[in-house]
């Protein structure tokens, strides 16, 4: 039986490089980009893993970290690469850094170098460079991380490897709530919309929520409503790239009114639409609605 093939090639990224160059941070960035990520997969399992990823309808892109922790098995990687590239689109990303930067990082973290249990960090770095020299020559992409901090490295990876459609990598939740039930614990930003006229005092609107067209139309008729939505949306669209640059993957924006039934619900829905039009992944959650 022939193996199941998905539509289009599955992408496999093999991340390797010097210890202390940021492979863990880079792997997390790829995970945020939607890659199925595995750290330190045994070398002999890479071909099998590539086959499973190619056959799985749920895995489109994968990223693996392979480094000097593999020991002598690392010498098999060139042959394994040649094998897997026959069936799957594969790239090798090599992370490097200056010796001075690597020594400083190991000093700051106080973590032992994988090859430095019986020698100095500097000697271990020299030995590691020799072992990885052939892999560096095989790399499709070489990234010098010397001048990057963690946030800058993440931003660089996302900018370089994100899809051409430039979908934003932060998930935004627009949450409505009632102050009488308390502010959501996970809220990053909280906006009070109790300054808007309250539909609760109109009998026909009382049993409805802000998602009902009549209630929404009532709230929107006041000029301060649209001005608030425009100003808040503009502020959030300005802030979002800065949150992403600092490594934030989730952002919860909470809108509160008295009971969490009308005003906050309508505002959360409208702001979510504005952010979605700006290219962000947005979901709405109405914590206290319906009653």
Domain count of the fold of the chain: 2
What pLDDT score was predicted for residue 157? 87
User: The domain containing residue 282 runs over which residues?
Assistant: 171-286
The residue from 139, 161, 183 where one domain ends is 161
At residue 181, the pLDDT reads 95
pLDDT value for 58: 81
pLDDT score, position 113 = 83
Tell me: do 153 and 177 sit in the same domain: no
Beta bridge partners, 286, equal: 176
One pLDDT digit (tens) per residue for the chain, 291 residues:
333 334 344 589 999 999 989 999 999 999 988 899 999 888 889 999 888 888 888 888 899 998 888 888 888 888 998 888 888 889 999 999 999 889 888 888 777 788 877 678 888 899 889 989 888 898 988 998 887 888 888 888 887 887 644 445 577 999 999 999 999 988 999 999 999 999 999 999 999 999 999 999 999 999 999 999 999 999 999 999 888 777 676 789 999 999 999 999 999 999 999 999 998 989 999 999 875
- In-domain check, residue 93: yes
- The CATH number assigned to the domain holding 15 equals 3.40.50.300
Residue 266 CA to its chain's centroid (Å): 28
- Domain membership of residue 291 (yes or no) is no
Side-chain-side CA neighbours of residue 77 (13 Å): 31
Would residue 1 count as lying in a domain?
A: no
Residue ending a domain, choose from 161, 182, 200: 161
Q: How far is CA 64 from the centre of its chain?
A: 16
Distance between CA atoms of residues 287 and 265, nearest Å? 9
Instruction: Tell me if the pTM is above 0.75.
Output: no
Whether omega before 146 lies within 30 degrees of 0, making that bond cis, reads no
Helices (H), the chain: 23-32, 46-55, 77-84, 99-109, 121-138, 150-161, 213-220, 223-245, 263-277
Cα 211 to Cα 195, 219, 250, 265, distances in angstroms: 19, 11, 24, 7
Tell which of 161, 186, 221 closes a domain.
161
């Amino acid at each position: 039986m022939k193996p199941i093939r998905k539509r289009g090639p599955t992408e496999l990224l093999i991340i390797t490089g010097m210890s202390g160059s940021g492979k863990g941070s880079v792997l997390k960035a790829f995970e945020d980009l939607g890659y199925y990520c595995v750290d330190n997969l045994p070398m002999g399992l890479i071909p099998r893993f590539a086959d499973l990823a190619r056959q799985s309808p749920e895995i489109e892109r994968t990223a693996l970290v392979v480094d000097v922790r593999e020991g002598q098995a690392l010498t098999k990687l060139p042959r394994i690469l040649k094998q897997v590239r026959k069936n799957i689109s594969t790239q090798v990303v090599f992370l490097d850094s200056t010796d001075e930067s690597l020594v400083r990082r190991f000093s700051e973290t106080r973590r032992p170098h994988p090859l430095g249990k019986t020698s100095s960090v500097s000697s271990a770095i020299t030995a590691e460079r020799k072992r990885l020299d052939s892999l560096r020559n095989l790399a499709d992409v070489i990234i010098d991380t010397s001048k990057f901090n963690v946030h800058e490295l993440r931003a660089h990876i996302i900018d370089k490897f994100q899809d051409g459609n430039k979908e934003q990598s932060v998930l935004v939740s627009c949450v409505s709530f009632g102050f009488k039930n308390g502010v959501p614990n996970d809220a990053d930003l909280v906006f009070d919309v109790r300054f808007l006229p309250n539909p609760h005092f109109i009998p026909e609107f009382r049993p409805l929520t802000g998602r009902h067209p009549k209630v929404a139309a009532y709230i929107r008729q006041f000029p301060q409503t649209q001005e608030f939505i425009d100003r808040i949306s503009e502020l959030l669209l300005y802030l979002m790239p800065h949150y992403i640059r600092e490594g934030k993957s989730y952002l919860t924006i909470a809108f509160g009114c008295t009971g969490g039934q009308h005003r906050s619900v309508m505002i959360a829905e409208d702001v979510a639409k504005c952010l979605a039009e700006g290219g962000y992944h947005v979901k709405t959650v109405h914590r206290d609605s319906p009653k």
